[in-house]
Chain A
Amino acid sequence: MAKFLFFGRLADRVGRNKVELDLPPHIQTTSAVIRWLEAYLDTPNALSDPSLKIMINQEFIHQNGPVHNSDEVGFLPPVGGG
Chain B
Amino acid sequence: MDIRITDTPFEPGTELNAFSTANPQAGAIASFLGQVRDEDGAVNTLSLEIYPGVTEKGIQARAKQAMQQFRLSDLCIIHRHGDMSVGEPIVLVLTAAKHRRDAFLACDYLMDYLKTEAIFWKKQTGQDGTQWIEPRPDDYQDAKRWRP
Contacts and interface: CB of A to CB of B under 8 A. Distances in A.
Chain B interface size range: 20 to 34
A7 B51 contact: yes
Interface of A: 5, 7-9, 12, 55, 58, 74, 76-82
Contacts of B53: 58
Contacts of A76: 51, 119
Interface of B: 34, 48-49, 51, 53-54, 57, 79, 90-91, 114-123, 132-135, 139
A81 B114 contact: yes
Contact of B115 (A9, A78, A82): A82
Nearest to A78: B134
B51 A74 contact: yes
Nearest to A17: B49
19 contacts: A5-B51, A7-B49, A7-B121, A8-B121, A58-B53, A77-B121, A79-B121, A79-B135, A81-B114, A81-B118, A81-B120, A81-B135, A82-B34, A82-B79, A82-B90, A82-B91, A82-B114, A82-B115, A82-B120
